[in-house]
Structure 1
């Protein structure tokens, strides 16, 4: 059997982003300074040469960035040698075009220059710069993959830390339920044995099963008010993001109160974001149980690994009401 070729999927820099454009402009200006103050065949002021060379090189750089952004899908799937040839071909072609146009426009300023010599000189410089660009693109791809792998490993580690906590409390609740309704306890365990998922719909389904289990244990003391948008937005998030927040609401808000209380789960959707607010009553300071902030910190860290700075968590404790607000992006660049 013939071995199938490995599919390449490179992560190239976004040449349209302001940060990348600024880096290209700075690098290009540095190259212009180097060429302007180096020995040159034109007998003129280095500052005059700097102005002309800066304009010429920035022209090539910006056109190249635009071209690379157009060819990003092709470049991301190219092998090493294909990537090198494509980058060299793009930069050399743009350099030839810009050289001919510049020579045609500014020939009167330097009548002693000849087009063939100017082309050879510019193409040699472009060839060396293209080698640097190839190396930088490959290094950027390797660094991006390394950061992604590290982030995934840390996300898995955080997920593993919170899962035993969730299972321990769930099994305790199920143990109490066994004495009241064995069939319901069995069904609860089957429901909670669902496979890992990070879809919002599945996370909410897990939350409903968990709250159903707690309602068997607390009875009428636990009331739940769901305020969800229709249709439900398609959002991916780390598993066990909302469930620990509801668990905290039950353990620290509902269970200590003799009369129980209501947990409000409210979602508000905009074009770019989804806001999730979980609110529960919180007893007076003297009757509160010690609050474990591990779950909140764990969730905040996992959201940061997935959404970076686009995700927000706001915690409020006022007027005997405790609320956690999550603001999640509906569109984001995955790591």
Structure 2
């Protein structure tokens, strides 16, 4: 599964954007009402100008929203020019409606309605070009932000690959020397883990990610023997939520490195619980007896998992760690449903 790229029109349907459009329209109406050479009541002219400007702005936003499915395939620049064309068309439509409904009651200059329509067209073009420039700056900034986030995630993925692969290779090397008869099982598990690590940033089902964690624990169980006990508590059916590949496995690896590896006898518990809105994955391990606190590490795996899960879920998911009853617990919360 791949994340869908952002669409240029997405920002227009958000409440802050609509509010800013309305405020900009009021500012434009105020500028027109304060222009020199205006005869009659400026308050009346401000009210009428505000009515026209807001109708044009809202009609343009509404037209773009209603045709959004037809516009999804257009390039951002073509889409911006089309929006300018819609702005012009709606300006002429509102001017025609004002002439049709009010006629001579509308306060126009001595040169009449054609000159007023020409001025409105010029204003619409000026506003459209300013909006086009603002749109290009906004879209470029948004693309730069998306690319920066992708680069950050890829950098974290690149940092976690050797961290994970080197530890697994060391496990395999120790196992091959101690129990060569189990090398085939080790190689099969390693092949699955290497394939996931080298596939690059992607999303997989939670069930598949837990399967990778299970393979890693099988390798470590072969290495530690009776020193390591693994307990799984899974629901009968796992929800079809997705997670970044190798986002939970590093938390299991941390439980081994900072728990069982430092103890004469340790255990790792992986428990999954579900609610209608959330899936919770808990990985816990006992703390070494000296001091009863977790031994600090580089936190590469934890930080990478936290950043990638928060990015995938739009901030609704999380990775938290805590100490409960002499055990170190990493809790992953995943929302059920799209971000």
TM-score category (smaller protein)? 0.7 to 0.9
| Post-superposition offset of 1:99 | 2.0
SS of alignment partner, residue 145 of structure 2: helix
In 2 relative to 1, CA 328–287 (structure 1 residues): closer, same or farther, beyond 3 Å? closer
In 2, Cα distance between equivalents of 1:316 and 1:75: 48
In 2, Cα distance between equivalents of 1:285 and 1:62: 67
| Post-superposition offset of 1:104 | 4.0
1:189-200 alignment, distance < 5 Å: 189-195=190-196, 196=199, 197-200=202-205
2:67 alignment counterpart = 71
Aligned pair partner of 1:223 in 230, 233, 253 = 230
In 2 relative to 1, CA 112–249 (structure 1 residues): closer, same or farther, beyond 3 Å? closer
| Post-superposition offset of 1:308 | 4.2
Contact in 2 for aligned 1:254/1:260 (Cα 8 Å): yes
Contact in 2 for aligned 1:225/1:263 (Cα 8 Å): yes
1:163 alignment counterpart = 161
In 2, Cα distance between equivalents of 1:33 and 1:228: 63
1:53 alignment counterpart = 49
Structure 2, gaps ≥5 residues long:
1-5
In 2, Cα distance between equivalents of 1:244 and 1:190: 17
Give yes or no for the alignment of 1:94 onto 2:90.
yes
In 1, Cα distance between equivalents of 2:135 and 2:51: 24
In 2 relative to 1, CA 85–152 (structure 1 residues): closer, same or farther, beyond 3 Å? closer
Deviations 1:105-135 (A, max 9, x none): 4456536564333322212211221222223
With structure 1 as the length reference, what TM-score do the two structures score? 0.84
Aligned pair partner of 2:279 in 271, 274, 280 = 274
In 2, Cα distance between equivalents of 1:40 and 1:326: 66
Contact in 1 for aligned 2:319/2:330 (Cα 8 Å): yes
| Post-superposition offset of 1:214 | 1.2
Structure 1, gaps ≥5 residues long:
1-8
SS of alignment partner, residue 309 of structure 1: coil
The aligned length equals 323
SS of alignment partner, residue 199 of structure 1: strand
1:232 alignment counterpart = 239
Deviations 1:296-327 (A, max 9, x none): 22322333444443332222212112222222
In 2, Cα distance between equivalents of 1:43 and 1:34: 16
Contact in 2 for aligned 1:253/1:282 (Cα 8 Å): yes
With structure 2 as the length reference, what TM-score do the two structures score? 0.83
| Post-superposition offset of 1:154 | 1.4
In 2, Cα distance between equivalents of 1:289 and 1:89: 62
Contact in 2 for aligned 1:277/1:323 (Cα 8 Å): yes
Contact in 2 for aligned 1:256/1:287 (Cα 8 Å): no
2:189 alignment counterpart = 188
Contact in 1 for aligned 2:175/2:222 (Cα 8 Å): yes
| Post-superposition offset of 1:31 | 1.6
| Post-superposition offset of 1:91 | 1.0
SS of alignment partner, residue 60 of structure 1: helix
In 2, Cα distance between equivalents of 1:162 and 1:34: 57
Contact in 1 for aligned 2:266/2:285 (Cα 8 Å): no
Contact in 2 for aligned 1:249/1:263 (Cα 8 Å): no
In 2 relative to 1, CA 262–204 (structure 1 residues): closer, same or farther, beyond 3 Å? closer
102-111 vs 55-64, which moves further: 102-111
Give yes or no for the alignment of 1:30 onto 2:35.
no
In 2, Cα distance between equivalents of 1:122 and 1:76: 30
